[in-house]
Chains A and B, each alone.
Chain A
């Protein structure tokens, strides 16, 4: 493994990844990889997670194609140095900021969106001109194998490598020196990644998780809006990998008096989308493996939690399926309300007044996203200014992921750093400042021996008091 990394470093040093034409050719090759292997990708996702082709396209293939296309169209603009303003005092001078690749970068991806979370950062790293080692998650083994086998067929092996393996390989990789580490996963492992990076002063981007709440304040408006709200909630909970997504809705906050209406709407929508019961479940992913299955089942073991189930609750251990489950007011100190659920269980917490949702959310650590279904402009402003999260989405769920102009990342326990669109390019770049100066004019007061005149001169210069400077030079100003 050390040899592979040495090779990557050599390729970077020799300038193999610098040219825009190389970067574009790699991105185009990636697009080809995706286009020519769509069926295999769908198959691997079905094998690992039971994802249907529409979900796979919507959340993985389509997202990636869009990302590559967008990057290809903007790359030249992003790579160009940006001019910076220079005050008159520095004349003649030119200042600019030039993005440069960081070098050899390590990308760790997660199992729930095994293609998007591996290849979207890869797109950013390539566009910024780096060499890359990609370590996909072994918890999605078919997808990992696909990447290991297929990437070398399309991309430049001297610059982009994929390594298979589990936590032990990950640990070994973390001992080495990288110029950047990009990690998507849990806060627990995020800490280990950052601690390892600290030894080499390696900058990191951590895309972690959290409990993403959805505030529901629109049921009392028109029935059609209520229906749309229900669809978007259901789509935002069980749509992305059956709740196993960092941006999936974790729990709902709604006023007491609207809870039963909401539950009815949700039940209807779930049945329509996914089927009447666990036997006829379709268009929904399964739980990734036995370990996660047990973890979720254990969340429901607490009798107080089990009592709060108002819909669903059935499980099928053989097929690793848990049906969409709704809970009403489980105890706030239960595990299901303190851990990130990452599964198909949806607690609904009722409040006397919807405004209390702000304090409720603030009592937990900062989530990746806060969803709020409301048309009250004042409430929207309060949510924005009184809560903190990576992103806030009003009146919908999940779609912010598609917006290339919005930075995607967390804050606090949900992570730091961001990507998507140009932010991907930036996250794998170093913005180098450059100042060009001329030899003339020479300003004597810059140099010792120091005198009162020189002190006053510089003071005026720092205040950009050009008039004062003239007076001083003409002898009309004294200290």
Chain B
């Protein structure tokens, strides 16, 4: 017993080495490559979630005060879907892909074979501690790897639960959970992995990649950024508002990498804080020909209306909002909110409850571009609205910053949509909604530039944890002497023709009719 306690107390470089050695031995023995093993593990994961839903929901409530619906849907249901998709499609994913061959290598046949990379490390984040831990693991298992999962210590209840459940349900000689904080992560990063997938922030992302560089380990970095929402005129403002709210406060209270971070809309719609007029409900249905002045009032009103409808008059007491994860982040968010030039711009909300780590949904209007809140990823329940002259100006504004993980735009203008899709660079774009692209397994989910590198979800998860090995089958027939020395002009002519790919050229060369 004592030695077990000691073992648990210190996970250092030697412990990390041992773990990797054990997993490598399992991998080399072929355990994880076996197709049936992969299926069994995925089924075990499904069972694990089916049989432990209440415990998972409780852990997420402990760590984040996450509402039951968010836990059930955005963590558990999404994971189960991901598992089921992998189980259903895996037999196609593992099949080699035929590749075309050209005249230059005739006769031959070619294919691309997927093979596991080996022993992989998945480091996940605290805001969706179950989803961001197990979704990559699903891809890694489907691809046939051995895995170490390092959940975030900032969501400790979920991390412990994961460690316990994975040990009980899955094959611990091939899949392990290592709990801990910076020292444990550092010990893990010193080891040689065949792939590292990290979800989190850019600062740690750089550290992960630098550590990976020592071993030439490829990495996937799912980072963040400020995801803007562009709101155009001539739209159904009520629906747009509700979708923005769902993506912002409905996703772990703004603490999600793809949450709308801030809104960009035109000055014509710039907002004045007005009371809640009742006519808003009716007018929202007939929006298209309203004057911009009216729309101007309606936008913030729309938010206020819907926010109250969703969370009540006292959002600090609503059970449908997650809390801010811990006091560090709480202090960080207050710093953003209480900055002099920003605190005067609050048009809705701003209330806070330090003992319960809650901040009410807060909207700010026209905060200065050089304020803190506009220069770091908010990751919380504060929503600045900034205004510009023309809606097209938003594209340049967004492109002038670092590339975000996602950009959202609400518009009915077809030309604007086309321009948006073409001009704005981001991990992913959604038109007339927010965040839902996450649930679309046929779309690769990942960042670009500062928002990360690599992608996953669906088959992309399988691919990201695979090596695509090129295979060329040649026969002994058709051995052209022109390949071999001694090199002559005649061979040069023939080679040129062969590489040029035209049958006529080859005939001419054979006949001696082409120039060297």
A residues sitting closer than 8 Å to B (CB atoms) are: 13, 52-55, 57-58, 62-63, 65-66, 69, 84-86, 90, 95, 97-98, 100, 102-103, 179, 187, 190-192, 194-195, 197-199, 201, 203, 206, 208, 224-225, 228-229, 231-232, 234-235, 239, 273-274, 282-284, 362, 384-385, 388-396, 399-400, 402-408, 411-413, 415-418, 430-440, 442, 446-450, 454-455, 458-459, 462-463
Contacts of B425 in A (CB 8 A): 100, 430, 432
Contacts of B221 in A (CB 8 A): 201
B480-500, CB under 8 A of A: which get 1 and which 0?
Answer: 000111111001100110011
Q: How far is the CA of A406 from the CA of B102 in the complex (A)?
A: 11
Q: How far is the CA of A392 from the CA of B453 in the complex (A)?
A: 28
Contacts of A283 in B (CB 8 A): 485-487
A382 → chain B closest CB, angstroms: 12
* Given known A-B contacts A201-B453, A274-B485, A433 and B239 have beta carbons under 8 A apart: no
- Answer yes or no: B267 CB below 8 A from chain A CBs: no
- Answer yes or no: B112 CB below 8 A from chain A CBs: yes
Q: Which of B294-311 contact A (CB under 8 A)?
A: 306, 309-311
Besides A54-B492, A284-B485, A432-B448, 6 other A-B contacts (C-beta < 8 A): A13-B399, A399-B472, A400-B105, A403-B108, A439-B236, A450-B68
Across the interface, name the chain B residue whose C-beta is closest to A199: B206
Q: Which of B443-463 contact A (CB under 8 A)?
A: 443-445, 448-450, 452-455
Q: How far is the CA of A69 from the CA of B505 in the complex (A)?
A: 15
- Answer yes or no: B470 CB below 8 A from chain A CBs: yes
In the complex, the number of residue pairs spanning A and B with C-beta atoms less than 8 Å apart equals: 301
Stretch with Cβ within 8 A of A (4 or more), from B131-139, B345-353, B432-440: B432-440
Contacts of A389 in B (CB 8 A): 469
Contacts of A86 in B (CB 8 A): 440, 442
B200-225, CB under 8 A of A: which get 1 and which 0?
Answer: 00100111111011101010010100
Q: Is the CB of A407 within 8 A of B470?
A: yes
* Given known A-B contacts A392-B472, A462-B77, A437 and B209 have beta carbons under 8 A apart: no
Contacts of B113 in A (CB 8 A): 384
- Answer yes or no: B190 CB below 8 A from chain A CBs: no
Contacts of A239 in B (CB 8 A): 483-485
B311 → chain A closest CB, angstroms: 6
Q: Is the CB of B202 within 8 A of A65?
A: no
Q: Is the CB of B216 within 8 A of A415?
A: yes
* Given known A-B contacts A52-B487, A54-B495, A411 and B209 have beta carbons under 8 A apart: no
- Answer yes or no: B250 CB below 8 A from chain A CBs: yes
In the complex, 8 of the A-B residue pairs with CB atoms within 8 angstroms, ordered by the A residue number, are A203-B454, A273-B486, A407-B468, A418-B468, A435-B431, A437-B431, A448-B311, A455-B68
Contacts of B104 in A (CB 8 A): 66, 399, 402-403
Instruction: Give the interface centre of A192, A206, A229, A416 by most chain B CB atoms within 10 Å.
Output: A416
Contacts of A454 in B (CB 8 A): 69
Q: Is the CB of A98 within 8 A of B421?
A: yes
Task: Report which of A208, A391, A463 forms a contact with B469, defined as CB distance below 8 A.
Answer: A391
Q: How far is the CA of A195 from the CA of B214 in the complex (A)?
A: 7
Q: Is the CB of A273 within 8 A of B484?
A: yes
B residues sitting closer than 8 Å to A (CB atoms) are: 28, 33, 67-69, 72-73, 77-78, 80-81, 99-102, 104-105, 108, 110, 112-113, 115, 117-118, 194, 202, 205-210, 212-214, 216, 218, 221, 223, 235-236, 239-240, 242-243, 245-246, 250, 306, 309-312, 318-320, 399, 412, 417, 421, 425-433, 436-437, 439-440, 442-445, 448-450, 452-455, 467-476, 479, 483-488, 491-492, 495-496, 499-501
Instruction: Give the interface centre of B437, B454, B476, B483 by most chain A CB atoms within 10 Å.
Output: B476
A104 → chain B closest CB, angstroms: 11
* Given known A-B contacts A90-B436, A97-B443, A404-B102, A434 and B431 have beta carbons under 8 A apart: yes
Q: Is the CB of A435 within 8 A of B72?
A: no
Q: How far is the CA of A198 from the CA of B210 in the complex (A)?
A: 5
Q: Is the CB of A208 within 8 A of B216?
A: yes
Q: Is the CB of A235 within 8 A of B216?
A: no
* Given known A-B contacts A201-B202, A391-B470, A432 and B440 have beta carbons under 8 A apart: no
Task: Report which of A90, A284, A416 forms a contact with B440, defined as CB distance below 8 A.
Answer: A90
A266 → chain B closest CB, angstroms: 13
B436 → chain A closest CB, angstroms: 7
Across the interface, name the chain B residue whose C-beta is closest to A366: B467
Q: Is the CB of B310 within 8 A of A228?
A: no
Task: Report which of A403, A438, A449 forms a contact with B312, defined as CB distance below 8 A.
Answer: A449
Q: How far is the CA of A32 from the CA of B108 in the complex (A)?
A: 31
Q: Is the CB of A66 within 8 A of B433?
A: no
Contacts of B496 in A (CB 8 A): 57, 62
Secondary structure at the B interface, as helix, strand, loop or mixed, is mixed
Q: Is the CB of A436 within 8 A of B206?
A: no
Q: Is the CB of B486 within 8 A of A399?
A: no
Q: Is the CB of A85 within 8 A of B499?
A: no
Task: Report which of B81, B101, B218 forms a contact with A462, defined as CB distance below 8 A.
Answer: B81
* Given known A-B contacts A100-B425, A388-B467, A416-B216, A201 and B449 have beta carbons under 8 A apart: yes
Q: How far is the CA of A190 from the CA of B217 in the complex (A)?
A: 11
Q: How far is the CA of A208 from the CA of B476 in the complex (A)?
A: 29
Q: How far is the CA of A282 from the CA of B488 in the complex (A)?
A: 11
Contacts of A232 in B (CB 8 A): 479
Q: Is the CB of B476 within 8 A of A413?
A: no
Q: Is the CB of B205 within 8 A of A201?
A: yes
Q: Is the CB of B484 within 8 A of A84?
A: no
Across the interface, name the chain B residue whose C-beta is closest to A282: B486
A76 → chain B closest CB, angstroms: 16
Q: Is the CB of A406 within 8 A of B470?
A: yes
B126 → chain A closest CB, angstroms: 21
Q: Is the CB of B213 within 8 A of A198?
A: yes
Contacts of B469 in A (CB 8 A): 384, 388-392, 411
Instruction: Give the interface centre of A58, A84, A201, A399 by most chain B CB atoms within 10 Å.
Output: A201
Contacts of B486 in A (CB 8 A): 273, 282-283
Task: Report which of A13, A54, A194 forms a contact with B213, defined as CB distance below 8 A.
Answer: A194
Task: Report which of B73, B311, B320, B421 forms a contact with A459, defined as CB distance below 8 A.
Answer: B73
A127 → chain B closest CB, angstroms: 17
Q: How far is the CA of A385 from the CA of B467 in the complex (A)?
A: 12
Q: How far is the CA of A454 from the CA of B236 in the complex (A)?
A: 23
Q: How far is the CA of A403 from the CA of B105 in the complex (A)?
A: 7
Q: Is the CB of A462 within 8 A of B474?
A: no
* Given known A-B contacts A190-B216, A231-B479, A95 and B450 have beta carbons under 8 A apart: no
B283 → chain A closest CB, angstroms: 16
A262 → chain B closest CB, angstroms: 16
* Given known A-B contacts A55-B487, A449-B310, A462 and B78 have beta carbons under 8 A apart: yes
Contacts of A224 in B (CB 8 A): 476
Q: Is the CB of B430 within 8 A of A437?
A: yes
Q: How far is the CA of A283 from the CA of B112 in the complex (A)?
A: 34
Q: Is the CB of B213 within 8 A of A195?
A: yes
Contacts of B218 in A (CB 8 A): 416-417
A293 → chain B closest CB, angstroms: 22
Contacts of A84 in B (CB 8 A): 440, 442-443
B9 → chain A closest CB, angstroms: 32
Contacts of B454 in A (CB 8 A): 203
Contacts of A225 in B (CB 8 A): 476
Q: How far is the CA of A199 from the CA of B472 in the complex (A)?
A: 38
Contacts of B436 in A (CB 8 A): 90, 435, 437
